[in-house]
Amino acid sequence: MKKSYEQFIARQELLKKQYDEAYYEKQHKRGKLTARERILLLFDEGTFEETDAYTPPANASFGKTVKAFGDGVVAGFGKVNGRLVYAFSQDFNVLGGSLGSQHAAKIVKIQDLALKTGSPVVGLIDSGGARIQEGISSLNGYADIFKRNVLSSGVIPQISVIMGPAAGGAVYSPALTDFIFMTADTSYMFVTGPNVVKEVLNETVTTEDLGGASVHGTKSGVADFVYNDDENTILGVKQLLSYLPSNNLETAPVHQKDVSKEKTEDRLRYIVPEDPDKPYNVKEIIELIVDNGKFLEVSENHAMNIITAFARIDGHSVGIIANQPKVMAGTLDIDSSVKAARFINICNSFNIPIITLEDVPGFLPGTDQEHDGIIRHGAKLLYAYTNATVPKITIILRKAYGGAYIVMNSKGIGGDFSFAWPTAEIAVMGPDGAIAILYRKELTEAEDPAALKKELTQTYRDEVTNPYIADEKGFIDEVIDPALTRSKIITCLDALRRKTVLRIDRKQGNVPL
């Protein structure tokens, strides 16, 4: 064998040695898969091509370096569900997955290739953050990554998967991406850790309570998806990718049509209760409308008064936004407005039509909401719906009151089609509020105020809130039989397939932040 070839083989052997049994064991003991196992799990079998496998860590002045190939990150590309995807996976076994200059350069190379080729990027994060001994070089590495996160935003899907620590300024790369996954119990994200919290505020808090998946999947809403272990988290990423196009110039892959569904679905007539104050679970309606009854919820356990989910209708990806009457009567508050606005922006970036299922009594009243800025945050939802140019269809299931009616994709702000079920109530406010304001004097003077209120409520429903008024005035397109909702959506999506919207050129709109 030629000497040059022997050298080549010897180098390969050295790399293999690095990934010995002890390497795997160390990470498995932490309840986690290794960086390499994770990335192999992400890609279709045999398709992963690694880049920069031999990169060593840069020399650092403050001691503590290791001789390790790859500089703590496995990077490359391959196929996910048959489509090209770029990915990197941080290796906690090498200097705690910390980001040195070479490590950053590997990630940047992946980001640049993904942007040039219009392919999604998946980052599997398991890192102690900026590599301390490399000082400014490692900080600058983050700057290089952040910049590409921003320039790729709205062009290619970017997905961050937190599978270990993500601390300090390092959390801002995931925050700039489209979706954040977290693995329960083994991952956490915070800007300042428990030690600093103790020092500065004298507060004692655990890592989990400060920034674990249980916090970010519910309270903060930072994590869009939480799964219980590494395997399921990566399966979740693959599932999400199946709903998304590779970039902003394409549409999501079309799947087989669900032929099992009948044209009419009688059960849809009986889910919304006759009593307008009774709650129901809007997920039952979603299941009956979408292909195979399957949908993937985004931020499932955060702001549960609104549902945001990807699904398919007639094989095409759609984004579903639905008020959830089961939680807080489906009112819009700060968290649900921001959650839905963010989801709309993602659908709009990636050419995914939006279906809105509306049953909203209004914005949540109260000093907390007002003082925390419901005006500004509610405006985000209004802005996102109005700004979105993808096909937009609304079905008003029951309540559509006040500003919330306008915000939830009314035709006035640019909804393409708007339909109402016979149970719909569309007005400035519900009967109670309206009667209290308009008939206060009469009610106080009435011999039988309860009887008068009952009569006024009926008149209000007959004369003001019923959907036939909105239908006749053209504010909605039709009052439909609930059983025909799916077939109506299919017909309208088809009619909107070539929708184009031209807007006045501007540097940027001033999104309410």
Place of tokens 């919820």: 297
Q: Judged by CB, which is closer to ligand HXC: 172, or 439?
A: 172
Q: 3-state class of 423 per DSSP?
A: coil
Per CB under 6 A, does 96 bind ligand HXC? Answer: yes
221 in active site: no
Out of 130, 282, 341, 400, the residue judged to bind ligand HXC by CB under 6 A: 130
Of 135, 403, 414, 433, the catalytic one is 403
CB of 70 to ligand HXC, least distance (A): 15
Q: Which range touches ligand HXC (CB under 6 A), out of 1-9, 72-80, 162-170, 481-489?
A: 162-170
Residue 471 to residues 134, 196, 421: CA-CA distances in angstroms? 66, 59, 11
Candidates 58, 95, 286, 288; binder of ligand HXC (CB under 6 A) is: 95
Residue pair 335/361 in contact (Cβ under 8 Å)? The answer is: no
User: What is the DSSP pairing of strand 316-323 with strand 306-313?
Assistant: antiparallel
Residue type present at position 10: A
Stretch in the footprint of ligand HXC (CB under 6 A) among 80-88, 93-101, 354-362, 476-484? 93-101
Choosing from 76, 128, 221, 482, the residue that interacts with ligand HXC (CB under 6 A) is 128
Return the exposure string of 77-114: e unless at least 16 CB atoms fall within 10 Å of the residue's CB, then b.
Answer: bbebeebbbbbbbbbbbbbbbbbbbbbbbbbbbbbebb
Interface with ligand HXC includes 70 (CB under 6 A)?
no
Catalytic residue selected from 404, 424, 434, 483? 404
Per CB under 6 A, the list member of 72, 123, 129, 194 interacting with ligand HXC is 129
Cβ(291)–Cβ(363) below 8 Å: no
- Distance between alpha carbon 450 and the CA centroid of its chain, in Å? 46
Residue 131 interacting with ligand HXC (CB under 6 A) = yes
Which token pair is 192? 């300042």
Smallest gap, in angstroms, from Cβ of residue 215 to ligand HXC?
Answer: 16
Which one-letter DSSP state was computed for residue 256?
Answer: P
C-beta of 154 vs 168, nearer to ligand HXC: 168
Q: Contacting ligand HXC (CB under 6 A), which of 68, 113, 139, 184?
A: 139
Q: What is the DSSP string of 12-50?
A: HHHHHHHT-HHHHHHHHHTT---HHHHHHHHSPTT--EE
Residue with tokens 């709903």: 243
Candidates 132, 210, 406, 429; binder of ligand HXC (CB under 6 A) is 132
420 in catalytic set: no
* Known catalytic residue at 403: yes
Q: Could you give the string, one character per residue 163-182, with x where binding to ligand HXC holds by CB under 6 A and - elsewhere?
A: --x-xxxx------------
Q: How far is CA 30 from CA 27, 33, 70, 94, in A?
A: 5, 9, 21, 14
Q: Does residue 168 carry a catalytic annotation?
A: yes
CB of 501 to ligand HXC, least distance (A): 37
Q: How many CA atoms lie within 13 A of 195 on its CB side?
A: 2
Of 135, 154, 168, 293, the active-site residue reads 168
Report the residue from 98, 152, 345, 466 that binds ligand HXC according to the rule CB under 6 A: 98
Q: Which of residues 232-271 bind ligand HXC (CB under 6 A)?
A: none
The CA-based angle 21-22-26, given to 5 degrees, is 120
- Judged by CB under 6 A, the number of residues near ligand HXC is 15
Q: Which residues are catalytic?
A: 168-169, 403-404
Binding footprint of ligand HXC on the chain (CB under 6 A): 95-96, 98, 128-132, 139, 142, 165, 167-170
